[in-house]
Amino acid sequence: MNPWLAHWQQAGRSPAELGKVAVLMGGRSAEREVSLMSGAGVLKALRAQGVDAHGFDPAERDLCELRREGFAHCFIALHGRWGEDGTVQGALELLGIPYTGSGVLASSVAMDKIMTKRLWLADGLPTPAWRTVQSAAETLAAFQVLGSPMVVKPSREGSTLGLTKVTDAAQCEAAYALAARHDNEVLCEQFVSGDEVTVPVLGDGHHAVVLPTIRIVAPQGNYDYEHKYFTDDTQYLVPCGLPEGEEAAISALVLKAYRSIGCRGWARADVMIDARTRQPWLLEINTAPGMTGHSLVPMSAGADGISYEALCLGLLQSASLDATAPDNPPGSSGTPSRD
């Protein structure tokens, strides 16, 4: 049995002990539609296991209602800004409500692809060369340095939104304009041609474990928003078909990347493998991965014997806070009380 699953089946709190649970879904990001699909799946899975779970859309309700309505835990099924970027995590820290996934700092860093790359490079981890640009002219200059093909994308957006694969200098202006509509921080990245894989991770620190690698084969290599969520044209290969030693090396690399950012709970890292050298290159890490019918973490977990329902419950059981608040606020007198 997967060690992560075995741990939570043995030590996790029962559905009744988890109390009233909010599944945060929807939100205000460009990934709202996907988040609603993720949240619906999680909500159904938790309720099927006896969890007192309720959908909660921060775009329609104030987060302060979580405390007023007695929610004890939150499952974060939000994607993108105001959900995956540390903002909701910070609000839940202030409210004192444990939540799934990474804490404030790791969530914020992982959402910013440029900051993620800087941390990985500081730890000696491989990631493609890049440039930060603020205009179409700078995008053209980056293309001249990074070469063709080059990927232009928003630094703080997900689900391939605003992404363009540039193969000609004439495309630079439109590519920059598209990315800049999603974020004022635009990233130009050297394209790596080869196998595309994704590797989920579950757990905390040195107890974190990787799930089976998934190799992604998209039509014409175009793994865009539509092919991610709304078509069945993309192939997801698990087992991935890579040589055993290569898959093990990628798993070890992803674990280092996960720990470098300080992730906890779960995440999914995207990796490109250079077709010529077989060198793996880290692209990004997602700290609130999708949980839709097309999502890759449930697919990988299933290949390792973890059902969708067990995955959802285990993630909820792992919900935590960055820090436990003191019993007395600053400036108060007296000895802290203990239950």
What tens digit of pLDDT does each residue of 76-115 get?
999 988 999 999 999 999 999 999 999 999 999 999 999 9
Whether 222 sits among the annotated catalytic residues: the reply is no
Give the residue extent of every domain in the chain: 3-101, 110-126+192-317, 130-190
Cα radius of gyration rounded to whole Å, the chain? 20
Q: Has 338 been annotated as catalytic?
A: no
Residue 28 annotated among the catalytic residues of the structure: no
In the set 31, 195, 196, 304, the catalytic residue is 31
| Exposure b/e, 27-43, CB count within 10 A at least 16 = b | bbbbbbbbbbbbbbbbb
Catalytic choice (38, 284, 300, 308): 284
Assess whether 31 carries a catalytic annotation: yes
The residue from 229, 260, 264, 295 that is catalytic is 229
Domain 130-190 has CATH 3.30.1490.20: yes
Q: Which CATH architecture has domain 110-126+192-317?
A: 2-Layer Sandwich (3.30)
pLDDT for residue 223: 46
Q: What is the pLDDT of residues 166-185, one digit of tens each?
A: 999 999 999 999 999 988 89
Active-site residue identified among 38, 155, 159, 260: 159
The three-state secondary structure class of 189 is: strand
Neighbour-count burial of 275, counting CB atoms closer than 10 A to its CB (0-12 exposed, 13-18 middle, 19+ buried): exposed
- Which pLDDT does position 160 carry in this prediction? 74
3-state secondary structure of 185: coil
- Catalytic residue among 29, 85, 268, 295, which? 268
Question: What does pTM read for this prediction?
Answer: 0.89
Known catalytic membership, residue 225: no
Q: Pick the residue with more confidence: 336 or 278? A: 278
Distance between CA atoms of 62 and 81, rounded to whole angstroms? 16
Q: What is the mean pLDDT of the chain?
A: 91
What single string gives the DSSP state of each residue in 280-333?
Answer: EEEEEEESS---STT-HHHHHHHHTT--HHHHHHHHHHT-B-SSPPPSS-TT--
User: Is the pLDDT confidence value at 133 over 60?
Assistant: yes
Class for domain 3-101, per CATH?
alpha beta
**Predicted local distance difference test score (pLDDT) of residue 334:** 40
Q: Is 229 a catalytic residue?
A: yes
pLDDT at 42 over 80: yes
290-334 pLDDT, tens digit each: 999 889 999 999 999 999 999 999 999 999 999 765 544 444 434
